[in-house]
Amino acid sequence: MGVLGARQVGKTTLAKALVRAHGGAVTYFDLEDPADLASLDEPMLVLRDLRGLIVIDEVQRRPDLFPALRVLADQRTRPRRHFLILGSASPELLRQSSESLAGRIVYEELGGFTIDEVGMKRWRRLWLRGGFPRSYLASSDRASDEWRRAFARTFLERDVPALGSQIPPRALGRFWAMLAHYHGQVWNASEFGRSFGVADTTVARYLDLLVSTFIVRRLAPWHENLKKRQVKAPKVYFLDSGLLHAQLQVHTMPQLSRHPKVGASWEGFALEAVIAHMGARPDECFFWATHAGAELDLMLIRGRTRLGFEFKYTEAPKTTRSMRTAISDLGLRKLYIVHAGSRSYPMASGIQAVAFQDLAGAVRPLR
């Protein structure tokens, strides 16, 4: 089994809890420890006689381990063993694992704290600080902001080079800061590249890196034969609202409420909360837009079920022609308008206003 997620999101804490509950033989390799890293220079020699649970943390530092893991996973003779690998992901990690461990491994993605975990009454704190445990649990908003800034520096200066990336940290840092102002927008590599002063292929490579390390979500467009010109480029969102706010120089809720990007920030935060609450996989999540102006912030598809979501930073959302067009053209079972107010109520046929604080009780997860 593999557990993937951003740095500092709690993968190691989860693994150690599983180790304590395992009860049998456990061998733990932390590849950030130089001794553990060096000990796996000859992986077959070290691993072949181990039994029980074998945990390999930060496995993206040694993608060359996957061929050895495939051989060991295929062995049916004793000793019996199970592998738990943890990683912050990278294109190399995913490529090696898909080639070497196809059909032998199941991946689970671990994100930060969700609204279902911290409780609906604390949603403003989660929105401002984001879901990274040390950011959310910090003693103050200032301490949380300082942690997120330190996280960004470490990510750029240490973690990205450790993945084998040749992108200069300063250039990637500028890209990351600039991307914050495109949060929630349709991705246009040519336009972004011109603004950034590099080729569109370069900014596309930068975006791929941030997506593969769980910093950014690339939300796919939905399009079908509707006899309408539909948008076919993805949208980009920061996966963690706290990291977005650090890039926007937003430190407190009053600052956030007055910021020009507050609506886009709310959209991304509520979108991630809905995806987590609904238990939706990335391949079940889309947005929809036409060049005539109709759009839908999020559409979840599982089997024949299609649900639509709009995210409005308001206390009194209103139905629009665009919403009715989305219901009709996309065949939505229901459309939910998730807003920042305190009341949930039906608005029109097939349209329900849902106060964010009521999300858990008002919208059933996908089955």
pLDDT digits 0-9 by tens, 176-185: 999 999 999 9
Span 76-88, mean pLDDT?
Answer: 78
CATH code: domain of residue 31: 3.40.50.300
The reply to whether 349 and 241 lie within a common domain is yes
Radius of gyration of the chain (CA): 22
pLDDT higher than 60, residue 260: yes
Span 123-152, mean pLDDT?
Answer: 96
Among 13-17, 225-229, 296-300, which stretch is predicted with the lowest mean pLDDT?
A: 225-229
Token pair listed for 1:
């089994």
First to last CA, the chain: 23
Among 55-59, 188-192, 243-247, 312-316, which stretch is predicted with the lowest mean pLDDT?
A: 55-59
Q: Helix or strand or coil: residue 45?
A: helix
* pLDDT recorded at residue 87: 86
Is position 304 within any domain? yes
* pLDDT recorded at residue 97: 63
pLDDT higher than 70, residue 96: no
Please give the tally of structural domains in the chain: 2
Span 98-108, mean pLDDT?
Answer: 70
* pLDDT recorded at residue 79: 65
The reply to whether 217 and 165 lie within a common domain is yes
* pLDDT recorded at residue 94: 59
Paired strand residues for 26: 53
Domain edge (last residue) among 109, 144, 177: 109
Domain edge (last residue) among 109, 140, 156: 109
The reply to whether 101 and 148 lie within a common domain is no
Containing structural domain, residue 90: 2-109
Give the tens place of pLDDT for each residue, 147-174. Answer: 999 999 999 998 888 877 888 999 999 9
Q: What band does 330 get if pLDDT is binned at 50, 70 and 90?
A: very high
Share of the chain above pLDDT 90, in %: 59
pLDDT higher than 80, residue 227: no
* pLDDT recorded at residue 25: 81
Is position 367 within any domain? no
pLDDT higher than 80, residue 111: yes
Q: What band does 325 get if pLDDT is binned at 50, 70 and 90?
A: very high
pTM over 0.75: yes
Structural contact between residues 277 and 303, judged by C-beta atoms closer than 8 angstroms: no
Question: Among positive and negative, which fits the CA dihedral 242, 245, 247, 250?
Answer: negative
Paired strand residues for 114: none
The reply to whether 178 and 312 lie within a common domain is yes
Domain edge (last residue) among 66, 83, 109: 109
The reply to whether 129 and 43 lie within a common domain is no
Residue 347 or 99, more confident: 347
Contacts of 261 by beta carbon, 8 Å cutoff, 6+ apart = 180, 181, 183, 248
Alpha helices (H) along 89-248: 91-100, 115-118, 123-129, 133-136, 141-154, 160-162, 169-179, 189-196, 200-212, 241-247
The reply to whether 277 and 211 lie within a common domain is yes
Give the tens place of pLDDT for each residue, 264-303. Answer: 999 999 999 999 999 999 999 999 999 888 899 999 999 9
Give the tens place of pLDDT for each residue, 25-48. Answer: 888 898 888 998 999 988 888 888
* pLDDT recorded at residue 341: 93
The reply to whether 103 and 124 lie within a common domain is no
Mean pLDDT of the chain: 90
Q: What band does 92 get if pLDDT is binned at 50, 70 and 90?
A: low
The reply to whether 157 and 120 lie within a common domain is yes
* pLDDT recorded at residue 4: 87
The reply to whether 94 and 194 lie within a common domain is no
The reply to whether 288 and 180 lie within a common domain is yes
Is position 349 within any domain? yes
The reply to whether 80 and 119 lie within a common domain is no
The reply to whether 236 and 325 lie within a common domain is yes
